[in-house]
Each structure stands twice: as C-alpha cells, then as structure tokens.
Amino acid sequence: MARELVAVAVRFVREYVRASDLAVAAAALFACSAVRSRLSAKPGAPMLWPVFGIIPALFAHLDDIYDWGAAALARAGGTFPYRGMWGGGSSGVITSVPANVEHVLKTNFANYPKGPYYRERFAELLGGGIFNADGDAWRAQRRAASAEMHSARFIEFSAGTIAHLVRGKLIPLMEALSESGAAVDLQDVLLRFTFDNICAAAFGVDAGCLAEGLPDVPFARAFERATELSLARFVTPPFLWKAKRLLGVGSERALVEATRAVREFADRTVGERRAELRKTGTLAGRCDLLSRLMSSPPPPDCPEGYSDEFLRDFCISFILAGRDTSSVALAWFFWLLASHPDVESRVLADVVRAGGDALDAGGSSMDYLHAALTESMRLYPPVPADFKEALEDDVLPDGTAVRARQRVIYYTYAMGRDKASWGPDCLEFRPERWLDARGAFAGGTESPYKYAVFNAGPRLCVGKRFAYAQMKAAAAAVLARFRVEVLPGQAEAVKPKLNTTLYMKRGLMVRFAAREQRHEPVPAAGGRAIKRELPKAAIERDGEE
C-alpha cells in the first residue's frame, strides 16, 4: 500500500509540477522563514538566515568583522544567539557581558569544558595537550605547568633566554636594518622572535628563526601550516572536512603532513633528552620546561613519571600558546605607539627612569610600559574570541538560555570596547586608565572577567607572567635604541585578520631609526638590569661581543 501511494505521488509530481513551481515554492518558504526569523530575533542581533544561519552576515562584514561584531553586541545589549550553516552543528550564544563570562569561566566552570567540538578540530596537532584537554587530564597538566613555570629556576632561566635572544639576535637584526634603511614586516620579525624564545623555554633548543638572513625554518613553517589548517576546520562543515580526512585529500592531507613534521621534531627532541637523562642520570644543567618535567619527581597520579607522549603534547601546546599571542600583542603595541607619540615619549621615559629593568620577570618596574601593553591588549586582544561548550542546559546571569552542547562564545575584542565597562573613552588608547594616583600599575584591581585577555578562572593563563616579561623586555630594548617608523599609507592595510589570533592582515611594514642617545638595558645579577647610556658607536661594538 505504501509503495503504491509513493508511486502515485511521484507520477503526480512528474505530470503536474514543474521545476519552476518547486523553485517558486522554495523561494517563498525561504522568504517566510527569513521574515519569521527576523521578527523573532533579539533587537539589534544579526540576522539568522534559513539554512545559512549567521554565515551571510559574516561574509558581508569580512573586512571589518571584529568591529561589526562589537557593534552588534552593543546594539543587542551584550548577548545574542547565533547559528551556523545547516549541517555544521554549531549554535549557541555570543556575549560580551562580564557577568556571563564569569559564570562560564568560574561560577559554573564544571558545565563549560573545551568540549568535543574544540578537541576534535585540534586533535592532530595538540593531541591530549593542556590546551586541548578537559577533566582530570587537564588538571594534571595544569598542576605540572603551574609548579614548573612558577618555580624560581624556570623564571630565572626564561629571563636569561629572553635577554640572550633580545641582545644577541633581535637588536643586532634591527641595527643592521637601521643602517641599511631597509623596511621589514615587524609582525613577521616578532613572530620569529617569540617562536625562537618559546622553543628555547619549552624544549631548550634554538629554532633559528632569527638567524642571519631570516631563513625559512621547516619546523616553524610546519607549525604555522598545521595551526592554520586546524583552524580551518572551525569554518568548514564537519561532513566536508571529515570526508576529506577519510579520503586523505586536500587540506586534510596537508594537515596530516604538517602535524607529522611538528610531532617528529617534538618526538626527536623528547627522545634525545630522554637519552641524555639515561646516560648522565641528571638534567640538572637544563632548566627548560621539557627537562624540568622529565626530571621532576613523579606526581601521585602518574607514579611512573610522564610519558613521552605527554611531554610531546604538553610542549607543543606550550609553543602554540606562546608563539602567536605575544608577538601579535607587540605588533599592535608598536602600531599604536606610532600614532600616539605622547604615549611613546612616556614609555621611553619610563624605560630610562627604571634603568631598562625589563628583564626582571614579573617585577614591578616600568609601570607605564606595563600599563601601555595592557591597554594595547584591551583594544587588540591577541585572542579576540574564545568559547566553551555546555554539558547541560543552563541560564546565563543576563537571562539567556543555553542548551546542552551549545557553545558560549565570549567576545574579548568587544569586551575591551564596551562603554559600560570602560567608559565613553573606551576606544581611546589611554594607558593612564591602568595607573593609580601615584603612577603605579593598578590593573590587578580590575576584574579578570571584564579583561579576559589572559582567560580567567581556573583556566587563567599560566604563562601570563612569562608573556609580560617577554613583551616588556623586547619593547624596552627596541624603544631604547630605535624609533619604529611605520611606513606611510598603511592605515587601511593594517586590519585584523579573521583568525583565532588577531594577526594584522598584511603585516606591519616599518623602518628602524637609531636614536642618537641610547639607554640600553644591561642584564645584571639575578636577571635584573641596570641603566647605561652609550653613544651609538659604543652600542654597536657592545652588540658585536
């Protein structure tokens, strides 16, 4: 009976329904659904189209997507729902309300892990590393990271690696560029600097990105490629990238090749360090993160010690977190200084007054520089948005309902530009907002859920202290020696790139002009520094030693 009814229906369609009729009906249904969606949408929120969800709105604003998103959140009262393309499996809410962020990152932390949606997309690159882990696996790595990164030996070691890299490679490179008058992409130079620095801190190896001639480094290239291809999965429908992965074609094949190169490098380094430990019985002479983890007493939940796979994934995650964020933050910082000479003058005066004490990791010196970097990241956060996935149905403090398996995206870029949080001058670059009446840095009094640049709650970035030490050292050393001159005509070119890290779309082309009188940071005992004023010729000789 059922077959006969189907056959009759098919004959009816063939005889009486034309393709044009179906097209008209589909168009009418689409239009009705669109009108219904618009009428039921939250005032000010972006349109959620039938089938395509928020995708058309995103494509319409690709050139200014971050500012558009911030404006949309402001119109919608700080929160609005979103839905991706049909079949993509992505839906939830986007928010910039600090109370909502605190609820997700702290109050109801257990209900908002990274979730399988995130973990699946980074599985090849990060494996079970700390930035791709939840639950007990995350807690174990968090304990290990906190214990080692906050230890006095690692802090001293990391300060030394920063000082060596800044004085031995970064400054000589800029001196050569200054003498030749050549222009260079500052974003690329800073990416190379932070990659070399993070590899030294994590693995105790020199990646060589800042070597003479700025060579192509296979490991760095593979790492960047693997990161980009992993991120592409977030904007590609799952049925598409999973099919490509199954067949081993296109971007998924390229991802496998790139991650293989990254993991082979990490596995080789772990293996060599393990062999050294077996041969000598100690790694006491090494203070990099890998060596410290490998030689530390076994934790209670891992009596046999950390496995090679654990160490590999942990260090790869550490590199991912430290490579892009600090370099991107510094690039936007120098861009802002170029258009705010008054702030640059105060930063330079702060460096001179403090004696160039940039290598005091996490110290209290150079409060104005610290405030200027913090203010720069408020306007241009290295990670413009992040998300968590709900395990169970929930209601956010502003009354927004979240269903199980939906995502809550907290929009850090919009949070830093919210008038309710930062006042009517929220779009101005004003480091003074972070200082108290005595001129001391007072950022610690601000809620981390209002300024979520370093995440917040239990997942607060364990490398925050390291990041500030690295940025302050590089910024102080460069500014004490050079004026960073942004090439004209880049106002339109310097825009954020659509990525999980706030890259400049086309980089930042600059020239370095040597200052006539230098105030050079000179490392002293314990990683601290003293001031020394030298003429240009003396600085050049000192840099060659």
Provide φ and ψ at 90, rounded to 5°. Answer: -115, 125
In whole angstroms, what is the distance from residue 468 CA to residue 254 CA?
34
Cβ distance 383 to 364 under 8 Å? no
* Residue in this structure with the two tokens 């006042």, named with its chain if needed: 423
In whole angstroms, what is the distance from residue 320 CA to residue 329 CA?
15
- Annotated binding-site positions for heme: 461
* Res 4: pLDDT: 67
In whole angstroms, what is the distance from residue 306 CA to residue 46 CA?
47
Report which DSSP code applies to 1.
-
In a domain, 192, yes or no: yes
- Annotated binding-site positions: 461
In a domain, 143, yes or no: yes
Task: Tally Cβ neighbours within 10 Å of residue 134.
Answer: 18
* Res 540: pLDDT: 31
In a domain, 49, yes or no: no
Hey, CA dihedral for 72, 75, 77, 80, is it positive or negative?
A: negative
Say how far residue 203 (Cα) sits from the centre of its chain.
20
* Res 263: pLDDT: 92
In a domain, 51, yes or no: no
219 Cβ neighbours under 8 A, 6+ residues apart: 207, 261, 262, 265
Domain assignment of residue 264, given as a range: 138-542
* Res 523: pLDDT: 39
CA angle 14-16-17, nearest 5°? Answer: 75
Hey, CA dihedral for 99, 105, 107, 112, is it positive or negative?
A: positive
Query: How many structural domains comprise the chain?
Result: 1
* Res 360: pLDDT: 44
78 Cβ neighbours under 8 A, 6+ residues apart: 95, 96, 97, 100, 398, 418, 420
Beta sheet of 79-83, edge-to-edge order: 79-83, 91-95, 407-410, 386-389
In a domain, 87, yes or no: no
List the structure tokens of 36.
């219904």
pTM: 0.85
- Is residue 277 packed enough to be buried (19+ CB in 10 Å), middle (13-18) or exposed (0-12)? middle
pLDDT in tens, the chain (545 residues): 667 666 666 565 566 556 555 455 555 554 554 455 454 556 667 877 677 778 788 788 878 889 999 999 999 999 999 988 776 668 899 999 999 999 999 999 999 999 888 889 888 998 888 888 888 888 888 888 888 888 888 888 988 999 999 999 999 999 999 999 999 999 999 999 999 999 998 888 888 999 888 998 898 889 889 988 988 888 788 888 999 999 999 999 999 999 999 999 889 988 989 898 888 888 878 888 888 888 887 777 776 778 889 888 888 888 888 788 999 999 999 999 999 999 999 999 999 887 654 544 334 479 999 999 999 999 999 999 999 999 999 999 999 999 999 999 999 999 999 999 999 999 999 999 999 988 889 877 788 999 999 999 999 998 898 999 999 999 999 999 999 999 988 877 788 887 778 989 889 999 999 987 554 443 333 333 333 333 333 223 233 33
In a domain, 29, yes or no: no
- For residue 538, the domain's CATH number is 1.10.630.10
Task: Tally Cβ neighbours within 10 Å of residue 264.
Answer: 12
* Residue in this structure with the two tokens 């809410």, named with its chain if needed: 93
Cβ distance 403 to 81 under 8 Å? no
In a domain, 81, yes or no: no
* Res 542: pLDDT: 32
For the chain, what percentages of helix, strand and coil (3-state, to nearest 5) are there? Answer: 60, 10, 30
In a domain, 260, yes or no: yes
* Res 88: pLDDT: 63
